[in-house]
Structures are given as C-alpha cells and as structure tokens.
Amino acid sequence: MKRALHIALLCSILLGFGVIFYQDYFPIIQEEPLKGYSPPFDKVTFSWEKWWSAEYQDKKEVELTNTFGFRSSFVRFDHQIGWSVFHTSHVNGVIVGKEDYLFEEDYIKAYRGKDYIGDSLVFQRMEKARMVSDTLNKLGKNLILVFAPGKASFYSDYLPDQLKSKVGKTNYAEHKKYAELWHLNFIDFQSWFLEQKNSAVHSLYPKYGIHWSIYSGHLVQDSLIRYIEHIRNIDMPNFSISELKRDRSQDTDFDIGSSMNLFESLCSDTTAIPTVNWEPKEGKDLPRMVSISDSFYWVIYTKGFTNAFGENQFWYYYHDIYPATSRGFQKHSDLILSEEIENHDVFIILGTEANLSEYGWDFIEESYDLFYKK
C-alpha cells in the first residue's frame, strides 16, 4: 500500500512536469500574457564552449524561469494568494498602503529622503543648470525645469505607519531650493498638486496608478503651454475641455493595478476622461521643443501635447528618441547636441521625485560641457 502510494505520487509529479513541458513547446491553452515590465532575456544556443564556461547553464536557467508552461497562471495564482490571504503584494517593489492604495517603493524612499544624493551633488547639478539656462537665454532659447509629483508625497496619509516618517533631506526639496534661489524657469507641480488635493473635483492621482491621472495630465499640458507663452511672449495653440466622461480607471491610471496580475481584478476606481478641442495652428507661434523626461511625460505626450509645437521631441531618460528624427536617429548617442540646441527653442527637463537623484540624466552635464569646456 505504501509502495503503491509512492508510485502514484511519483507518477503524478512526472505527469505534472510533462504537462508543463508540453505546454511550453506545444501550447494547448492560450494564456493571457502577464502585464507590467519584465526584464528582457536572450535565448541561448548550445555550444561546448558555453557549456564549459557555464554561460549556457546560467542563461538557460533565466530562459526557463521566464518561459515554462503555464507560467502566467502560476504567477497569478501566487499573486492572488498573497493579496487575498495575506493582503500583500508579490510584485517586486510594490507596497500595499492603507485602504488598498498601491505605491512603488522608490517613491516612498524619495518621499522619506532615503535616496538623497547629498548637498554637493545637488549644488553642482543645479549650478550647471543655471549656467546652461543663462547661455540658452542669450541664444533666445529657454530651459524649463519641471518637478512632477510623487505618489508617496501626494498620498502620504495612506502609507503604512512604519514608512511615514522622513529621515532627512529630499532631492525634491533641495533641487527646488536652488531653482528658487537662482530664479530659474521652473514649475513645481509637486506643490501645486498638494494644494489642489482637497479641492479638486476629479482625481489628480489615481489609487492604483503610479503617474498623474489622465485628467490632471491635461491640466499639466495647459500649465506648460501657458508658461512657455509667458516666458517667450508668444501665442501658442491652446485647448478647451468640452466634456468630462466618468469611466473606470484604465491605461496609466491603472498601471500598478494591472501589474498585480491577479485572477480577480482589483475593484477599479473611476476617473475623468476629458474630450478636448485644440485651436487651429494657423496664425499661432509653434516653438520647437525637446523634453528630457521619465515616464510621466508619456501621459501628456500621447494626449495631444504635440499640437502646441512645430516639433516635439521626447528624449526618454535622455536615451531613446520619440518620434525618430527625420534623419532616422532613435538614440541620443546618434545626435550632435550642438545641432539639436541650435534647431530647437525650448528644452524641458521633467522628472518625478523618485527620479530626481538622476535628474536630467546627463543632459545638464553634457550641455554644460558643450558651452563651457570647449
């Protein structure tokens, strides 16, 4: 009896592995792909050289971990157990706050000051930004610094109690200090969002999202356009909101919620989706603009912001270029910075508090070297 039980158990295990193996190579069930970011990996081909160096084993392990049969279902099952039973997140870097508000860990670190880069580095960066701004002004161009809000600061009252206390200076406060001290062109959406938090009719920051909401993204667009009009004394195309439709949070308003990858989807909150009407471009000033930004810029870049400019280049983390230039350049390393500065009028550096430790992503330093070291 005992031997028969062992044999049955072994056969069950082998059958389970067989089904997983078969699903991997000959899918019998189409699974819904997991949502969110997954680290890229390369499939490895066998060679004796890679075998003896252990390169094959290491890469094959990564490949198998990310491609085995029914992986999506196993991941969702694990995440659902964590959420339903332990009320916690099994997604790397996601923290569950009070009333199920979801936060990314990097934003909490930034809010508390745990990622502060130090007085000297902030001073050096902002001093170079001031000098770059001065030179651009003399060339009839403008540098605009934009501080996007962070979710941990905006919803600090929903953070777990053990993560509420601040531990020191923050990159946001220190960068803003020098922007004010030296009268740089800057917009502080962090403070503005907090000021409007209790009076805003519609959600400025979604419960299950990491970026500003689609609705508040339109308010950001309007503010940026009017600020550029003010400092350049020009008249750009503006837009008006003709309708606000209430709908379930989606896209960037639900990006962390989607990345939870649960069988039973989170109860989505609602958000306001604006319908906008843009003024015709005829007779308007259309400055050529470059935005160096993190992912917060996607929310406005994909919602009509390009209508206000003659050209709107998005240099994502100062690395990838959207859209590709007329010369086909897709990476900033392909560009000649002096030519790009000559061919554009406005340069925006936009970053949320979780990314201010790398603010500018070397654009400030390279522009400074271009102007002052050559």
Report d(CA 321, CA 312) in Å as an integer.
Answer: 11
Tens of pLDDT, residue by residue over 325-351, are 656 668 878 889 999 999 999 999 999
Report d(CA 216, CA 222) in Å as an integer.
Answer: 10
pLDDT average, residue stretch 102-123: 97
Q: Which two tokens stand for residue 339?
A: 């030519």
pLDDT average, residue stretch 85-106: 92
Burial 163-192 (b: 16+ CB within 10 A, else e): beeeeeebbbbbbbebbeeeebbbbbbbeb
DSSP states of 269-302: -EEEEEEEEEPPSTTS---EEEEEE-THHHHHHT
Percent of the chain with pLDDT over 90: 58
Using alpha carbons, select from 308, 304, 276 the residue that is nearest to residue 289: 308
Tens of pLDDT, residue by residue over 22-34, are 456 566 667 777 7
Does position 218 have pLDDT exceeding 90, yes or no? yes
Report d(CA 182, CA 176) in Å as an integer.
Answer: 10
Give the residue extent of every domain in the chain: 1-30, 96-372
